[in-house]
Amino acid sequence: MGAYYQATVNKTRYGTWDLGQGAKLMEHSYIGNEYVESVMSLLENKPKELRWVCDYSENKGGFDWDDTEEESLKNVSCYDITPVYFAINHTKEMYIDMAELIQLHHPRSMMMHPIPFLCNSEKGAMGGGDLHREESRRGLWYGDTISISMDKDYVTSFKNVTADMLFIEH
């Protein structure tokens, strides 16, 4: 059996199933996926702590799945299938330019969204439906304060790490 993952913004966990999405990491962690883009829209111009928490996770940094209340994303409008925004890590003072990231993708690969992996509670695979290759960047942004902005001027004081955040399914 595989592990389930859901985004947690501050202390609220957002379910995947009510949007018709699978909860296994590789079922929903793609650019343009309704679940991921709905979570991103919750962060637009609102910096908040973000974690992609595994149901197997046990008290990582004083935080686990059972400590959260689950809410629905059904009434949250998500971004278009081709996101054009900046994913900003306020804790580490860096950002990902999603339009630039999309251009870096190989045309025959799945476009994995970096945020579910960067904000992941686990450092390695937790069963079926998970990313099974070694990935040193996994969890590097776990619990950091993240926001989304459409404004290029807003990110000028942050470091652009887009080229280092390309996740490709092999």
pLDDT mean for each 10 residues of the chain (170 residues): 87 90 90 91 95 82 77 80 85 96 78 93 73 81 96 95 85
> What pLDDT does 89 receive?
98
What is the C-alpha end-to-end distance of the chain, expressed in Å?
A: 22
Domain limits, the chain:
5-164
Q: From its phi and psi, is residue 12 left (phi > 0), alpha (psi between -120 and 50) or beta?
A: beta
pLDDT of residue 130: 67
pLDDT digits (tens, 9 = 90+) for 152-161: 999 999 999 9
